[in-house]
Amino acid sequence: MTMRLWKIFGGLKLAGHKTMSMEDATEATPLPKILTLPLKQHIGHAAEAIVNVGDKVLKGQMIAAAKDYVSTPIHASSSGTVIAIEERPVPHPSGKTTDCIVIETDGEDKWIERVENANYRQLDASALRNIIRDSGIVGLGGAGFPSFIKLNPGPGNMVDTLILNGAECEPYITCDAMLMQEHGRKIIDGLNIMRHALQVERCIIAVEDNKRAAHTMLVNALQEHEAEYIDVVQIPTLYPAGGEKQLIKTLTGKEVPSNGLPINIGIVCHNVATAAAVADAVLEGKPLISRYVTVTGEGIEHPRNLDVLIGTPLNEIIELCGKRSEANQYIIGGPMMGFEIADTNIPVIKTCNCILIQNKKTEAEFVMPCIRCGQCAAVCPAQLLPQQLYWYARAKNFDKTQDYNLFDCIECGCCTYVCPSHIPLVQYYRFAKTEIWAQEQEKKSSDIARQRHEFRQFRMERKKAENEERKRQKKELLKKVSGKKDSADDAKKAAIKEAMERVKAKREAQSAIAKNTDNLTEKQKKEIAEIEARRKKAKEEN
């Protein structure tokens, strides 16, 4: 069956360099002594450790739980003892450290008890999503977005097509191609599970036409009834045909809107390796604890693919493949979209698909001025204007870069590749993007500071008003109380006055009637009369 394919805008035909790492079958790496498992290996919030230093853990045991919706748990890749939970360097362009759980393996590689769900068709979508989330499955194509979220279309979104991305368009990387060749059946099982969870009819597996063996393997693995709803499609080899938006365009002719998601146009797209991980998780109860990693490049003596436990030191797998002494450039990912690392003393994480080791040119190429040739615009698969973006990003005019849809840039690197002046265009876009995110974050925190300051002022005003009110009330109360006191005093005073007057009156009355006035001599009577007269006189004078 042939399907109509659409052409994407721009893109490049690049030398594949793929055969060098596809000569040997994939080998599992020997069990490392130390496993370093970063708590954040995905897009979203870091997981939270649920084990302590000194704990014994089994292979496949959950050691860190998802903290938020956009987050996934982390599992022990082998049995052993947790020897540290601390900051360690991880694969990241910054070379910075982040929290990791470090396990010393005991060599027994003993599995935890597993729940197998061979009859997954009896489970509903939500139960399947929970299994997929609890198995720590993230997009294995490189971005690492938690897969269960993409299996939850949400209300109002109708999904009609499920696409498995096996294009693997970037040069050197062959881990998906090897997985398709070696585990085609597992990928189709995973696809069936995802199809059941999403309740979609139509499925497409897209493979670039330079991977004949993988295509044949998948077609042969299809059962007869499955062939009715699954199309295994060969798409033309063109970089970046494997970009999600580009693949959707190639297969369906539909374009994902700017700032939109494939789900908005009824499409869900997963990587083939993710599908295999889903099959492992649901059918065998194995969480995501290993992945295929391509170790390749001119700096490697024996380029090949390895089945690596998550957390294995990168050094060990590079040694395993033999590093040439002159090799000095280490890239995680491919040559177009990967990032360079300075130190290889880091673990393999869920999103590491390839380690590219090359001989770096000693002399950096001169960067010449932009001559407005327009080659970058001709190859940009997102149909942006790379020159304009470059000018504005360089001038730190970030509003303008957003006017030119900076965030539709998929950082494929085509513009940098073709630029005759060797301008590192993508670096400018990455710079502008992270600056804009930082500015947004700053804006958010300054808004919070404003709110907190305003609330504090409101609180102080309120406190002041409350104090005033309290003072006023107290004063009033005092006034009332003192008013009462006055009247009481008056009454008392009146009573005292009355009593004194009474006493006075009594005394006066008493003084009027003198005592012992009987049997007085004439002389005494005369004296008394004189005294009385004097007293009277004195009284009158007073």
Q: Would you say 113 or 365 has its CB closer to another protein? A: 365
- Minimum CB separation of residue 429 from another protein in Å reads 9
- Answer for the pair 241, 208: CB distance below 8 angstroms, yes or no: yes
Q: Would you say 233 or 352 has its CB closer to another protein? A: 352
Lay out the sheet containing 304-309: strands in order across: 27-28, 304-309, 290-296, 354-358, 329-332, 339-341
DSSP 323: B
Instruction: Pick from 6, 9, 69, 455 the residue near another protein by CB under 8 A.
Output: 455
Is residue 40 near another protein by the rule CB under 8 A?
yes
**Quick one: tokens of 517?**
């006035």
- Minimum CB separation of residue 393 from another protein in Å reads 9
Q: Would you say 359 or 446 has its CB closer to another protein? A: 446
In whole angstroms, what is the distance from residue 83 CA to residue 63 CA?
Answer: 13
Q: Would you say 92 or 110 has its CB closer to another protein? A: 92
Q: Would you say 319 or 447 has its CB closer to another protein? A: 447
Contacting another protein within 369-398 (CB under 8 A): 394
Q: Would you say 160 or 447 has its CB closer to another protein? A: 447
- Could you please report the per-residue DSSP string of 128-159? HHHHHHHTT-B-TTTT--BHHHHT---TT---
Instruction: Pick from 143, 367, 478, 529 the residue near another protein by CB under 8 A.
Output: 367
Q: Would you say 43 or 123 has its CB closer to another protein? A: 43
Is residue 447 near another protein by the rule CB under 8 A?
yes
Task: Identify each DSSP E strand in 214-332 by its residue range.
Answer: 230-235, 267-271, 290-296, 304-309, 329-332
Q: With CB under 8 A as the contact rule, which of the stretches 20-28, 78-86, 111-119, 452-460 interacts with another protein?
A: 452-460
Helix (H) or strand (E) holding 162: strand 161-166
Q: What angle do CA 275, 135, 321 make, to 5 degrees?
A: 65
Is residue 329 near another protein by the rule CB under 8 A?
no
Residue 178: C-alpha distances to residues 186, 213, 215, 470 (Å): 13, 9, 11, 80
Q: Would you say 220 or 441 has its CB closer to another protein? A: 441
Binding mask 135-154 for another protein (x = CB under 8 A): --------------------
Strands 290-296 and 230-235: unpaired
Write the Ramachandran bin of 458: left for phi over 0, alpha for psi from -120 to 50, otherwise beta.
Answer: alpha
Residues 6+ apart with CB under 8 A from 106: 79, 80, 81
Q: Would you say 148 or 429 has its CB closer to another protein? A: 429
SS3 57: strand
Q: From the CA atom positions of the chain, what is the Rg in Å?
A: 44
- Answer for the pair 411, 430: CB distance below 8 angstroms, yes or no: yes
Instruction: Pick from 15, 364, 481, 513 the residue near another protein by CB under 8 A.
Output: 364
Q: With CB under 8 A as the contact rule, which of the stretches 125-133, 198-206, 213-221, 362-370 interacts with another protein?
A: 362-370
Instruction: Pick from 223, 446, 473, 510 the residue near another protein by CB under 8 A.
Output: 446
206 forms beta bridges with 165, 233
Contacting another protein within 397-436 (CB under 8 A): 423-424, 427-428, 430-431, 433-435
- Minimum CB separation of residue 274 from another protein in Å reads 24
Q: Would you say 244 or 411 has its CB closer to another protein? A: 411
Is residue 361 near another protein by the rule CB under 8 A?
no
In whole angstroms, what is the distance from residue 221 CA to residue 273 CA?
Answer: 16
- Minimum CB separation of residue 202 from another protein in Å reads 39
Is residue 444 near another protein by the rule CB under 8 A?
no
Instruction: Pick from 452, 479, 480, 493 the residue near another protein by CB under 8 A.
Output: 452
Q: What is the 3-state secondary structure (H, E, C) of 375-426?
A: HHHHHCCCCCCHHHHHHHHHCCCHHHHHHCCHHHCCCCCHHHHHCCCCCCHH
Peptide bond into 240 cis (omega under 30): yes
- Minimum CB separation of residue 197 from another protein in Å reads 31
**Which amino acid would we find at residue 514?**
A
- Minimum CB separation of residue 92 from another protein in Å reads 6
- Minimum CB separation of residue 394 from another protein in Å reads 8
Q: Would you say 264 or 446 has its CB closer to another protein? A: 446
Q: Would you say 261 or 370 has its CB closer to another protein? A: 370
Q: Which of 178, 135, 63 is nearest to 279 (CA)?
A: 135
Contacting another protein within 43-102 (CB under 8 A): 90, 92-94, 96-98
Please give the size of the binding site for another protein, defined by CB under 8 A.
37
Q: Would you say 9 or 437 has its CB closer to another protein? A: 437
Residue that has been written with the tokens 């400018």 in this structure: 428
Interface residues toward another protein, by CB under 8 A? 40, 90, 92-94, 96-98, 364-368, 394, 423-424, 427-428, 430-431, 433-435, 437-438, 441-442, 445-450, 452-453, 455-456
